[in-house]
């Protein structure tokens, strides 16, 4: 006879525990202390087993029957309900430990050897500001595309479209790492391609070849009354076309006057590989002038800050100077790279592979792969001197 809620409530205690059957293996076990437990008896692979469903009346008769029916469906499909429950519990524990933030920090730790300290700090700051406060504590396996999109929309609403796109890329890398390490099965970031707003791509402002003479004359006249070391930084940037951060953080210990080259250490390079910058006669002259002015400061920086000599010049110094010279929105510190690439290709007729390698880009051709060979270094030395001589010829 099946149980009723009334019969469950009315069940009295006895000296020993006893069972009230409901059918299908489900029964209510009444304990001597008055506690009543739902249990289910079943057989799996010929072995009798028990499954606990909770305490009555916290778990009602109807709920106990639902749990029994689910267990019987598992049995029909060849699954042991007890093992299924244990696996489910383990998954919950695993998910609680494998949150998006935990996986993201683990991924970051594994990337540190490939990245500069500054780039790693930028990535973690992006995650801390835009992702962790919203889905950082969620199990990575449970995050779906709509939830991730909601978070990225918050960044979009600030007008930070580039940051939103970059954050999506970072999240995609974290999800792929989660898949590789068995903590999630899919990458929802992949499903959001094309979902975010984008701005029309713009490049760093750079002068046209025909504007170089006017620019060099304006720099020489110095009508904006720039500090001499700032003017030298601009001239050296034009001669070496290194990235602005690489130039302002140049240290005297990296300069080899004998071999006429500047070696930028791998940790400061985007490609995580030491980069050699050949120094032409004009560049060496600038460095001599810079040492004459700053040598007494005992600073390791080639271009120290005007205010704090033991720190490098500010990352905005050159761009501010260009603005004061009248080249606002026409030229940027980074624009010297595009200017050199275009002019050297068109006027000096050097192979693109050599130019790209000197720009510290990954060159696809055979010359790019040979960048560390002495013969290729000689080609770069020759190219850099011809570039400086060309600039002198048009001033």
Indicate if 190 belongs to the active site: no
Indicate if 270 belongs to the active site: yes
Catalytic pick from 65, 68, 231, 334? 334
CA 216, CA 19: separation in Å to the nearest integer? 98
Find tokens 């709920």 and name the residue: 63
Catalytic pick from 39, 361, 381, 382? 361
Find tokens 């490609």 and name the residue: 271
Q: Decide: residue 288, CB within 10 A, 0-12 exposed, 13-18 middle, 19+ buried.
A: exposed
Query: How would you label 306-330 residue by residue, b for 16+ Cβ within 10 Å and e otherwise?
Result: eeebeebbeeebbbebbbebebeeb
Catalytic pick from 49, 138, 270, 345? 270
Indicate if 371 belongs to the active site: yes
CA 293, CA 253: separation in Å to the nearest integer? 17
Indicate if 243 belongs to the active site: yes
DSSP, collapsed to helix, strand or coil, labels residue 41 as strand
Catalytic pick from 68, 229, 232, 243? 243
Beta-carbon contacts of 332 under 8 Å, excluding residues fewer than 6 positions away, are 204, 205, 206, 319, 322
Structure token pair of residue 91: 């998954």
DSSP, collapsed to helix, strand or coil, labels residue 39 as strand
Indicate if 275 belongs to the active site: no
Catalytic pick from 248, 337, 341, 350? 337
Indicate the pairing of strand 36-44 with strand 47-56.
antiparallel
CA 232, CA 313: separation in Å to the nearest integer? 12
Indicate if 361 belongs to the active site: yes
Partners of residue 47 on adjacent β-strands: 44
So which residues are the catalytic ones? 243, 270, 334, 337, 361, 371
């Amino acid at each position: 006879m099946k149980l009723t809620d009334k019969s469950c409530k009315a069940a009295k205690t006895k000296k020993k525990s006893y069972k009230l059957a409901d059918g299908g293996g489900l029964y209510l076990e009444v304990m001597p202390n008055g506690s009543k437990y739902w249990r289910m008896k079943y057989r799996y692979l010929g072995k009798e087993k028990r499954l606990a469903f909770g305490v009555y009346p916290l778990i009602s008769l109807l709920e106990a029957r639902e749990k029994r029916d689910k267990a019987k469906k598992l049995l029909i499909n060849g699954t042991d309900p007890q093992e299924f429950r244990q696996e489910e519990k383990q998954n919950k524990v695993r998910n609680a430990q494998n949150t998006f933030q935990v996986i993201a920090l683990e991924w970051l730790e594994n990337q540190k050897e490939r990245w500069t300290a500054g780039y790693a700090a930028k990535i973690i700051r992006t995650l801390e500001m835009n992702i962790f406060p919203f889905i950082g504590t969620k199990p990575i396996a449970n995050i779906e595309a709509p939830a991730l999109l909601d978070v990225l929309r918050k960044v979009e609403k600030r007008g930070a479209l580039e940051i939103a796109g970059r954050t999506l890329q970072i999240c995609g890398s974290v999800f792929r790492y989660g898949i590789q390490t068995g903590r999630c099965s899919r990458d929802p970031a992949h499903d959001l391609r094309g979902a975010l707003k984008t701005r029309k791509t713009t490049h760093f402002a750079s002068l046209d070849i025909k504007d170089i003479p006017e620019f060099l004359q304006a720099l020489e006249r110095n009508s904006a009354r720039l500090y001499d070391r700032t003017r030298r930084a601009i001239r050296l940037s034009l001669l070496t076309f290194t990235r602005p951060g690489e130039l302002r953080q140049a240290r005297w210990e990296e300069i080899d006057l004998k071999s006429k080259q500047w070696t930028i250490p791998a940790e400061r390079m985007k490609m995580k590989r030491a980069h050699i910058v050949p120094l032409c006669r004009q560049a060496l002259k600038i460095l001599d002038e810079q040492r004459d002015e700053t040598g007494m400061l005992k600073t390791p920086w080639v271009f120290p800050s005007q205010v704090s000599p033991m720190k490098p010049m500010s990352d905005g110094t050159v761009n501010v100077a260009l603005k004061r010279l009248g080249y606002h929105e026409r030229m940027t510190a980074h624009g010297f790279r595009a200017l050199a690439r275009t002019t050297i290709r068109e006027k000096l007729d050097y192979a693109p592979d050599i130019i790209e390698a000197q720009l510290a880009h990954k060159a696809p051709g055979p010359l790019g792969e040979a960048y560390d060979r002495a013969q290729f270094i000689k080609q770069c030395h020759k190219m850099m001197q011809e570039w400086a001589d060309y600039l002198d010829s048009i001033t």
